[in-house]
Structure 1
Amino acid sequence: MESAPLTEMIGRFPTTFSQQSFLFRELAKPGDPELNIAVRWEICGKFSGPQLEKAVQRIIQRHEILRTRFIVDNGEGWQEVVESVPFRLGMVDLRAVASEEHESRVAAMARELANRPFDLSQPCLLRMTLVQLAADRAAILISAHHIVFDGFSIGVLGHELGQIMQALAERRDPDLPELDLQYGDYALWEQEFEASGALEEDGSFWESRLKDAPYFELEPDFLRPAGLETTGKTIVKAFPTDFDERMVAFNKSSGISLFTFGAAALSAALHQWSGKTDILFATPVAGRTDVEIERLIGVFINTLVVRIDAQPDASLREHVGHVADLVTEALLHQSYPFDRLVRRLKPRRDASRRPLVSINLNMQRAFLQERRYGDFELVSVPSHMPGIFYDLNVQIVGRNSGWKLMLDYNT
């Protein structure tokens, strides 16, 4: 991967722990759609394509990470920020197409966009298409490379997009504070943090916690292929309409977080399905432990390995309390990079399996805060998965319309 001409470069920074993982996976398998993040929104009300395009252009100028390209120099990954980049919004008009065909057409476009590869040597690793469905309704399809974008960034992008579009319509400045930091500043801070030796305590914790851990997996229905595959299917189930109210009440009475509830439920289910008591699964953490970086678009995510000793004779309250203690302890040591943990533990190599874990849990409320911005509303819609990373990916997502369980399984 070679650098493009540097005439517009305004800054060069080391890559972060999260970025290093995505960069070298990209180098190993260029154009892998598994490294793309796909997002789908619906916009309803009074809006225009040019207004949306101009808002995205302002966001790109506001966040340096969206004007960043990546190179490898002497085996080291670097990110280079350029002064400006062109951005054009894709626009498709389906208003002349029968409404019953809209969903299949939009889904096909979402899949194509999600699977289209990025060239990391070219800045602006973000694409967006507006699909007009009616005069006052459209789908917004987004694809971004994971090296510049994570789940939390979805909420940041949606909020700023809404604020800027509303301000453009009302011919005023948007209500957005200036950014005191950029992603490159975080990369430099992380480099200093590593040099201080502060990560070693976290590394020792995880080594002690996982050094004798088994490889937990569910019994497959078919023979496992010789190498990793990312093709799969998804099962979607809606929870009852009163699920949120009942869950919030239970969590409050138990003094637990939303994620702890999900981890307790999944570990109990995995114990029930497998008969095993030593349960392990992965979960992503936002990694945004400082308020100042909560306003940034970028990749801060890390993967934690949750190990739970499921006791068959424990009551529900006892199991939940046990999981709460383990989750709290894990979060105290969340800064240790997953890839570094793999190198430290040196698990047995197996080309057909992910290292350390085969199952992933993601339980959260949707990143996009669904709300009105003046004359229009942004709504989160389930999006296409470019690839199945784990044997089983358990997603439990809450939106204004209710909670849904999505089981992505590798076929």
Structure 2
Amino acid sequence: MNLVEFLQDLSLKGVKLWLDNGKLRSGGSQKVLKSDIVNQLKQHKAEILQLLNEQPDLLQVHALSYGQKGIWFLWQLSPKSYAYNVSFAIRIYSEVDINIWRQAFLILRERHSSLRSTFPNRGQAPIQWIHQDQKLDFLQINAAIWDEETLRAKVVEAHRHPFDLETEPVMRVRWFNCSEQDHILLLTIHHIAVDGWSLNLIVKELSEIYQALLAGVEVSLQPLTHTYQDYVHWQQALVEREEGKRLWDYWQQKLAGELPVLNLPTDRPRPAIKSDHGAAYPFQVSQQLTQNIKALAKSEGVTLYMLLLAAFQVLLYRYTGQEDILVGSPTSGRTESEFDSIVGYFVDLMVFRSDVSGHTSFRDFLAQVRQTVMGALDHQNYPFTLLIERLHLERDPSRPPIFQVSFALQNLLEAQEIQQFLGRTDTFINWGGMEVKTVAIDQYENQYDLTLEI
């Protein structure tokens, strides 16, 4: 362990080190500041003073949330993968001031510390290092001579460029200059720093910041009262309290016994190690069928989510013949309202285990699914990454653990800002008073054999 790692390890353990008129001061956890630690600090005092002068953010290090740990572990297994690159792109048909856009991203990044963090490995675990003066990864690209096919290929290539979470910024901006009145803005962020809710915040705030700068007025976003680190502390405290035991007992009981592996019929052999290669098949449900589904859900006293999940599980039973069905589903992870305005990785996963056998009708099965969903929602705060760890499952590198199929019903009202940008076709939209055109980019997080997203 070198000196930087030693100091950051102390910071993670609650030791406070700071400069006071050129002198080194210490405080915090007295359990950690034992005589041998104090002696090491004295021995390396001159070097420590120099480090803290040169890197004021050296000790801005924090533990990761359980979800971040899971993402980091997957990145470490496949550091060249782009499966967790999250992007949106717009095309602007007007003259722009690049410096204003650059300033807008700087303000956005200063507001949300997750966007100016790196995630180096320290000993046995990664940490989040929040940087004070990290260089903004903003690159202008001359695209004037490219045809449309080449331009789109270059945008996709930029989206897919892998991140180095240990040393590089987790947010990058690529500005493609096609002409003085034709530009493409591509924003790409690694999933370890954002989720879908965060993207909605970013799209909204970025527009407000840009418009304020353009008008020459003060940027007046609502001040943040909490940080992502507050969420990490809240989550850790939760699992250590009696409430954490209650949540763990529930999931331990629900996932007891041998967990079935869903064997979907495939047209080729399964690779020994799961890859990120996949594709999406978009389809549209007719208005009449949508109305019928909603009417059925209402008459049965269930939510639209419950009805669609039940239908999906029956479909899986039909294709596999398996009666014990496990399906995963994402949650926002923001059950506490104080975290609603924070950019970060909050999303988590729930597991729905349903037994298709013994039901004489779909109505009977739907009633079971209703109870399953209600129980899972009541226990959703238990981190999925910790659940995997505590179940001590035998890992199969060719499959994701616990479940192989996922289901998601998107709430467009909660994410209406970002949904405009994530369509599968290029569309003109009004973004904060600007008429822009979205640039569709295929983005897949191919963790699972099959995902149904509605």
- Give me the TM-score of the superposition, normalised by structure 1: 0.82
**Cα deviation, residue 79, structure 1:** 1.3
User: 1:47–1:376: 8 Å Cα contact kept in structure 2?
Assistant: no
Q: Which residue of 2 aligns with 1:303?
A: 349
Moved more, 317-326 or 118-127: 317-326
Confirm whether residue 269 of structure 1 aligns to residue 349 of structure 2. Answer: no
Q: Which has the higher contact order (CA 8 A, sep 6+)?
A: 1
Confirm whether residue 30 of structure 1 aligns to residue 75 of structure 2. Answer: no
Confirm whether residue 40 of structure 1 aligns to residue 88 of structure 2. Answer: yes
Confirm whether residue 384 of structure 1 aligns to residue 442 of structure 2. Answer: yes
* 3-state SS, counterpart of residue 193 of structure 2: coil
Check 1:201–1:28 CA distance in 2 against 1; reply closer, same or farther (3 A cut).
Answer: same
Check 1:239–1:306 CA distance in 2 against 1; reply closer, same or farther (3 A cut).
Answer: same
* 3-state SS, counterpart of residue 295 of structure 1: coil
Confirm whether residue 18 of structure 1 aligns to residue 18 of structure 2. Answer: no
* 3-state SS, counterpart of residue 207 of structure 1: helix
* 3-state SS, counterpart of residue 147 of structure 1: helix
* 3-state SS, counterpart of residue 306 of structure 1: strand
Confirm whether residue 113 of structure 1 aligns to residue 162 of structure 2. Answer: no
Quote the Cα distance in structure 2 between the aligned partners of 1:349 and 1:116: 28
**Cα deviation, residue 315, structure 1:** 4.5
Q: Which residue of 2 aligns with 1:161?
A: 206
Moved more, 143-152 or 249-258: 249-258
User: 1:152–1:286: 8 Å Cα contact kept in structure 2?
Assistant: yes
Confirm whether residue 68 of structure 1 aligns to residue 126 of structure 2. Answer: no
Quote the Cα distance in structure 1 between the aligned partners of 2:314 and 2:352: 13
Quote the Cα distance in structure 2 between the aligned partners of 1:308 and 1:379: 43
Quote the Cα distance in structure 2 between the aligned partners of 1:96 and 1:245: 49
Confirm whether residue 357 of structure 1 aligns to residue 403 of structure 2. Answer: yes
User: 1:77-92 residue pairs with structure 2 within 5 A?
Assistant: 77-92=126-141
Q: Which residue of 1 aligns with 2:370?
A: 324
User: 1:53–1:88: 8 Å Cα contact kept in structure 2?
Assistant: no
User: 2:137–2:171: 8 Å Cα contact kept in structure 1?
Assistant: no
Q: Which residue of 1 aligns with 2:29?
A: none
Aligned Cα RMSD in Å?
A: 3.2
Quote the Cα distance in structure 2 between the aligned partners of 1:321 and 1:134: 59
Q: Which residue of 2 aligns with 1:8?
A: 56
Aligned partner of 1:303: which letter? L
Moved more, 280-289 or 83-92: 83-92
Quote the Cα distance in structure 1 between the aligned partners of 2:256 and 2:95: 55
Identity over aligned pairs, percent: 25
* 3-state SS, counterpart of residue 283 of structure 2: strand
User: 1:122-133 residue pairs with structure 2 within 5 A?
Assistant: 122=167, 124-131=169-176
Q: Which residue of 2 aligns with 1:404?
A: none
Question: Deviations along 1:274-300, whole A, 9 cap, x unmatched?
Answer: 233322121121101111211111011
Check 1:351–1:312 CA distance in 2 against 1; reply closer, same or farther (3 A cut).
Answer: same
Quote the Cα distance in structure 2 between the aligned partners of 1:265 and 1:133: 47
**Cα deviation, residue 199, structure 1:** 1.7
Quote the Cα distance in structure 1 between the aligned partners of 2:291 and 2:93: 30
User: 1:217–1:359: 8 Å Cα contact kept in structure 2?
Assistant: no
Any unmatched runs of 5+ in structure 2?
Answer: 6-50, 421-428
Check 1:165–1:312 CA distance in 2 against 1; reply closer, same or farther (3 A cut).
Answer: farther
**Cα deviation, residue 236, structure 1:** 2.2
Aligned residue pairs, count: 391
Rg larger in 1 or in 2? 2
User: 1:60–1:66: 8 Å Cα contact kept in structure 2?
Assistant: yes
